[in-house]
Amino acid sequence: MPRPEILNPLFALVTSLSGVGPRQDKLLRYLLGRSETPRVVDLLLHLPSNAIDRRARPKVRDAVPGTVATLEVTIDRHRPSLPGRSRTPYLVYASDETGDVLLTYFRGKRDYIEKLLPIGEKRYVSGTVQIFDGTLQMVHPDRVVDEQGLAKLSGIEPVYPLTEGLALGSLRRAIALALQKLPTLPEWISPEVLRRCSFPPLSEALRRVHVPLELTDILPDRPFWSRLAFDELLAGQLALALVRAQLRRPAGARHAGDGHLRSKVIDALPYALTSSQREAVAAIAHDLQQPMRMLRLLQGDVGSGKTVVALLAAAAVAEAGKQAALMAPTEILARQHIKTIAPLAARAGLRVAIITGREKGKDRRDILAQIAAGELDLLVGTHALIQDDVIFKSLALAIVDEQHRFGVRERLALTSKGDAVDVLVLSATPIPRTLVLTYFGDMDISELREKPAGRQPIDTRALPSSRLNEVVDAVGRAVKAGKLVYWICPLVEESETIEHLTDATTRFETLRERFGDQVGLVHGQMKGAEKDRVMAQFAAAEIHVLVATTVVEVGVDVPAATIMVIENAERFGLAQLHQLRGRIGRGSEASTCLLLYREPLGEMSAARLRVIRETTDGFRIAEEDLRLRGEGEVLGTRQSGLPGYRIARPEVHTQLIAQARDEALRIMRDNPKLDGPSGEALRCLLYLYERDEAIPLIGAG
């Protein structure tokens, strides 16, 4: 179904706006998280993080130090920097009838400043005023305008999240042009919800957030931002409801056998299943026998044994002569799953294989032939599984290892390879209830609460980075004793913008000077095969220290590793710290996790480190994370807000999630095919918030 034409102006590329050239395009892609040129709508949904109030127009005598003021002054004289001493500032003396103010420029260009602030002329200067040596001064005024320019100076200026190289002014200009393209869209929120929540129309919400009349207009809990958050949540919930309606249709032949393969897998396990694993396996077997398709979320902490439950689910469908597929978001994870599954499957007589981007040529052709002939019971892979040439003889169960990385589209592409396929979603991050609704809608949930037997507790300590040398010495002693150590850094290579963060490459080099060939390095920019080679060396104890970025966060299983050092721990989110720490404590030896932080610690960072030291319960950590996580400043990922959502914020809009869900269920009840004008409006909504992958499902089947 084509996109409604009324949206075309919003889907024009940002490069169609005047002043947005190839350089800006590259910076905007990075800022807005797009792999291709962003569209006008992407700019409009990039909301301010703050605002500057330039409405205060005091006389010089009344200006309050530490505040932003706009002063009307006469320019008296210039004192350029001294020749050969570029460090001395360029000073401009200015005054009004009540007093003097000093305008200070560091590394100021003389001809530019003389033109900007001509002697004897009147100018309006706006910026933060300070007292220095008893004199009022303004360092690098934000705005310098004449009488005409003053009329255009907005009283309240939004401040946006930026990326290095992108000036605030040019982003503001682009957004102002984008606002001019905004068409009059039909209203998709029902009158009752509009009234109950006091939401303004969409166009007014966008205009007031980008061109605020009051400082409070840009706050997430006010009606303008909340309206946009509700739209985003409603689009997500409606897409989920459409998928659910499609997945929940009555299914034909059901998919569970008599249990003989499952008991073989259980017998092959070196330990007994935990009680929550047994409950999950029973619940899945029950779902597989029902006349409706299964849609179950299996969530459990790092190392709680999800892969084994997934294998038992695959064994249940294999007993009925059907096939299963397990899709993981990364190659490391897919290989991790097969490593756990293969030996157990072999002992139970289950036929398994793996397919990722790396299986090529004859190997790949052989696997495809086996899966098409029904000679494989379980195929593990990355999204290579959903390519057109992967054809199953009788796919009955799709297991998706989620990590929030697969969209609706991938899940559906996998289920479309079979008939009435049951779906089991795995999540290694325990998700608080409110968020389960957001991501998965009304799924059935199994939780794995216990750790498998034999897991050792992890001793977690936080140390200031001033004690780095002691930590390196301790690592030296551990290496001497034959222990394996993870050393996690936040960045891959040095960045000019984020000072004081240790990048993995530099740390690798400093540790190698000390420990020689005992040290290896893995990060996300390396090729898959190279990463795997270093990981294999670490697992085989050929190297003893593995320096890594967060690429090891998921799915890396080296039971012999017992020590983890995390640098700049204050920069990581709670869930991420918990995931990283879960890489140790997997064997029979006690493990230690050292969190190195830079002083001074902010309140939020201190709270996060406190929680991670106190508990290893992922469910508690997930709840605390949601409570604490205001604006996450976690590197490289916008971890504030909900993964997959740009506007909705968990700490502000939780009550809107339930309302959006109720509204989506009402729409599915009253107008499941999205017919008529209200349906057309809802299609606009789905396209605007990139949930249109659900549109082909409308009324399908």
Q: Which CATH number fits domain 55-153: 3.60.15.10, 3.30.360.10, 1.10.10.10, 2.40.50.140?
A: 2.40.50.140
Predicted confidence (pLDDT) at residue 89 exceeds the cutoff of 60: yes
Q: State residue 636's pLDDT score.
A: 25
Q: State residue 416's pLDDT score.
A: 83
Exposed e or buried b per residue across 535-561, where buried means at least 16 C-beta atoms within 10 angstroms of its C-beta: beebbeeebbbbbbbbbbbbbbbbbbb
Backbone angles phi, psi at 349, to 5 degrees: 80, 25
pLDDT winner (highest mean) among 98-112, 418-432, 567-581:
98-112
Q: State residue 316's pLDDT score.
A: 95
Task: Report the share of the chain in percent with pLDDT over 90.
Answer: 53
Tens digits of residue pLDDT in 28-42: 998 988 889 999 999
- Residue 549 sits at the vertex; the CA angle it makes with 546 and 555, to the nearest 5 degrees, is 80
Q: Which CATH number fits domain 260-448: 3.30.300.10, 3.40.50.300, 3.90.226.10, 3.90.660.10?
A: 3.40.50.300
- Of residues 301 and 364, the one with the higher pLDDT is 364
Predicted confidence (pLDDT) at residue 496 exceeds the cutoff of 80: no
Nearest-CA neighbor of 133 among 96, 97, 91, 98? 91
pLDDT band at 380 (very low <50, low <70, confident <90, very high): very high
Q: How far apart (Å, rounded) are the C-alpha atoms in residues 37 and 683?
A: 23
Tens digits of residue pLDDT in 555-595: 567 888 999 999 999 888 887 888 888 888 877 788 999 99
Tokens found for residue 685: 């909504």
Measured from the Cβ of residue 6, the count of other Cβ atoms closer than 10 Å reads 14
| Bridge partners, residue 158, by sequence | 51
For residue 662, the one-letter residue type is D
Which of 114-128, 150-164, 437-451 has the weakest average pLDDT? Answer: 437-451
Q: State residue 701's pLDDT score.
A: 37
E runs forming strands in 34-89: 50-53, 68-79
Mean pLDDT of the region 673-690: 93
Give the domain ranges of the chain.
Answer: 55-153, 260-448, 458-615
Place of tokens 């985003």: 232
Q: Which residues contact 700 (CB under 8 A, 6 or more apart)?
A: 246
pLDDT band at 633 (very low <50, low <70, confident <90, very high): very low
E runs forming strands in 271-312: 295-300
What number of CA atoms fall less than 13 Å from residue 554's CA on the CB side? 22
Tokens found for residue 323: 């096939």
pLDDT band at 498 (very low <50, low <70, confident <90, very high): low
Look over the chain and give the mean of its residue pLDDT values, rounded to a whole number.
86
Nearest-CA neighbor of 126 among 111, 146, 104, 141? 141
Q: State residue 571's pLDDT score.
A: 83
458-615 and 260-448 share a CATH fold: yes
Nearest-CA neighbor of 81 among 102, 112, 106? 106
Mean pLDDT of the region 37-66: 93
Predicted confidence (pLDDT) at residue 639 exceeds the cutoff of 50: no
Mean pLDDT of the region 531-537: 87
Predicted confidence (pLDDT) at residue 542 exceeds the cutoff of 80: yes
Mean pLDDT of the region 651-662: 86
**CATH architecture of the domain with residue range 458-615:** 3-Layer(aba) Sandwich (3.40)
- Of residues 27 and 254, the one with the higher pLDDT is 27
pLDDT winner (highest mean) among 97-101, 354-358, 492-496, 501-505:
97-101
pLDDT band at 407 (very low <50, low <70, confident <90, very high): low
pLDDT winner (highest mean) among 83-87, 486-490, 695-699:
486-490
Q: State residue 435's pLDDT score.
A: 63
Predicted confidence (pLDDT) at residue 108 exceeds the cutoff of 90: no
Q: How far apart (Å, rounded) are the C-alpha atoms in residues 445 and 420?
A: 20
Task: Report the share of the chain in percent with pLDDT over 70.
Answer: 89
- Of residues 543 and 303, the one with the higher pLDDT is 543
Tens digits of residue pLDDT in 293-347: 888 889 887 677 889 999 999 999 999 999 999 999 888 889 889 998 999 999 9
Q: State residue 445's pLDDT score.
A: 84
Tens digits of residue pLDDT in 233-292: 999 889 888 877 776 666 666 777 889 999 999 999 988 899 999 999 999 999 998 888
Nearest-CA neighbor of 128 among 141, 116, 117? 141
pLDDT band at 638 (very low <50, low <70, confident <90, very high): very low
Q: How far apart (Å, rounded) are the C-alpha atoms in residues 306 and 413?
A: 23
Q: State residue 649's pLDDT score.
A: 83
